[in-house]
Amino acid sequence: MSTVAMKTETTDLPPANTIDVAFQLHQDGRLAEAADLYRTVLASEPCHSRALLLLAMLLSDGLNPLEAEVLLRRRLSLTPGAPIVPDDLVPALSEIDSAGTDAPMHRLELAMLLFEMGKLRQQAGDDRESILLFETATVLKPDYALAFNNLALSLHRIGRRALALEMVDRALAIDPQFIVALRNRGHMLLEARRPEDACAAFEARVAVDPNTIDGLMDLGIAALAIPDTARAESMFRRVVELDPSHVQAYVQLANTLDHDHRQHEAGEYRREAARRHGIVNQPSVGSRAQARVLVVGGAALCNLSLQFLLEVKRFEAVVAYLQPPGEEDAVVDAPLDRFGHVDLVINAVADADQGGAFLAKARSFCARFDRPIINPPDHRVARTTRDGVADLLGGIPGLTVPAMRRMGRDETIRLAQTAGAFGRSQLVRPIGAHGGDDFERIDTAPALASYLDRVPATEFYLSDFHDYRSDDGYWRKYRLIFVDREVYPYHLTIGRDWKLHYYRVDMNEQPWMKPEEEAFLADWRSAFTGALGEAVRLVARRLDLDFAGIDCSIDRDGNVLLFEANPSMLVHLTESPIAFPYKHRYVPRIFDAFGRMLIRSIVSGKPTLSDRAA
């Protein structure tokens, strides 16, 4: 039935009947028709409490939150003295009546109203006010599972993780099959580095709906974090079975197989993910995009993440991934008009160890567009392998570059069989590995032999271990980003162990660490004074890339100790703005600088690959 027809049939109906019809349409998902009828009721009775509340609820979920808040406040104004925050609640509760709409607002309606207002505040990022509103709703309606769940989300966003878990557990005690709360609980536990408990929450979610794609993906990711690779593989294969077009399932399945050292199979699934991804247009969410860029990557674990660097409010993009050389490649064979107009090309093939085979193909493909290019796929990217960087950056005053050896498996086995082969401790990892996977400190030949028994890789990097522990007993690792060869601080990781990764430590649980990181982000030269700062700037110039970065520390001799330098450095901003406000002040400078570089390259006519060839 059309909206117009519904209006014709209900114009003369009593308001009570009209509101019931509107509510049924609302429940059936016919939102436009329901909204029209709610407005019909309000046109004849502007203070109709139920119409105000229901229309606000309909509009609050992204349709028109500003109008929703106006309607909610209008309804709230009908009951002077209605409680808003817990401190006002107790003396006012005795005045709340459960009578009709002409009497003071009854408990259930007020709880729903405050919940909806809390949702709007939550959507606007005002978590502290939303917490007060949700808390009041739960006092009015102690079995309000929705309110406990949303209260948990706001508490979690401001860093009160333990209380957030307690509130989401309250929601599940009321409704054990509350799917959204089960998923939220799983994500909170996963972030709290409790992957086994997260799996239990996601398993309960899947038990409610065994074919839920999101639930199976969540369970697989949590299982991989344990790591329980058998369960993770099972979940991702189940998603692929249910939805063969689910690109992320192929990617996560490849990650799982990589973790089990099944690189050949992992490569097959990454190539399949690239085939199914195809050529994808990503529109800008701004009123008008400043430019349209082509992002070119490879079908391997080798690409720079542009999720935050390429701001969707400023740029629209077309994204494509190349197949390895010798593979049938629909991207390379596509006509240029399939990509539309582009102002700039970004080469995202960034990990030279895993993506080196794509560089020549990427160079040929990018040259077809004759546009300025960021990080051209040439020798400057190719030389950022770990051993290549060691050669490139050697001799910089104030910079310690550990000796780096690239060794095949047979050569590494021979080293493990050589008595007295270790003059000093070595760091060993498979070539292409990141994030600490199979990365260990080895002090003796037998220890290396034991490592090789566990890790069946074919090639390894071995590098000298340097002590970089600070005088306070903690280890520190700094990440600095180079945008157009200028230096920007990104994060500081502090921990009790030499193997530091930001995701492995919990800076939020050690309040004294955050001011030190904030000082570093405010001015990176406060940590890298004098000659150390000049060493960092010289690294940026030697790399000579539009985008790159380094992980480093300051060793016991007072020099910059290089860990790695490459164009694949991950930069994101997912931390809570309440728990880490300083990150939200300083990290966006990197995104701004990246965007300015893109526009500057377009406007100034930065050399294209054709120009470079000429």
Same domain, 284 and 369: yes
> Read out DSSP for 415-459?
HHTSTT--SS-EEEEETT--TTTT-EEE-SHHHHHHHHHH---SE
CATH number at residue 202: 1.25.40.10
Contact call for residues 548 and 482 (beta carbons, < 8 A): yes
70 located within any domain:
no
Same domain for 363 and 322: yes
Domain boundary among 352, 382, 412: 382
Same domain for 367 and 430, yes or no, is no
Same domain (yes/no): 289, 367: yes
Both 261 and 300 in one domain: the answer is no
Cα distance between residue 305 and residue 559, in whole Å: 30
pLDDT at 609: 66
pLDDT at 103 > cutoff 60: no
Token pair in block for residue 584: 């939200």
Full strand arrangement of the beta sheet holding 315-322? 280-282, 315-322, 291-298, 344-347, 373-374
Answer whether residue 286 is part of any domain: yes
Instruction: Give me the number of domains the chain comprises.
Output: 3
Q: Identify the helix (H) or strand (E) that includes residue 288.
A: none
Q: Which of 277, 296, 325 is the last residue of a domain?
A: 277
For residue 232, give its domain range.
Answer: 191-277
CATH number at residue 353: 3.40.50
Q: 98 pLDDT exceeds 50?
A: no
Considering the domain architecture, whether residues 299 and 271 belong to the same structural domain is answered as no
Residue 16 banded pLDDT, cuts 50, 70, 90: low
| Domain end among 277, 301, 334 | 277
The pTM for the full model equals 0.83
pLDDT in tens, 252-298: 999 999 999 999 999 999 999 999 999 999 999 877 899 999 999 99
Domain annotation covers residue 413: yes
- What pLDDT score does 10 carry? 40
445 domain-assigned: yes
> Residues 453, 433: one domain?
yes
% pLDDT > 70, the chain: 92
CATH code assigned at 440: 3.30.1490
Q: Does residue 183 or residue 57 have the better pLDDT? A: 183
Whether residue 16 lies inside any domain: the answer is no
pLDDT value, residue 611? 60
Same domain, residue pair 374 and 422? no
- Render pLDDT for 435-452 as a digit per residue (tens, 0 to 9): 778 999 999 999 999 999
Residue 370 maps to a domain: yes
Domain-embedded: residue 60? no
Residue 157 lies in a domain: no
Q: How many helices (H) and strands (E) does the chain have?
A: 28, 14
370 and 458, same domain (yes or no):
no
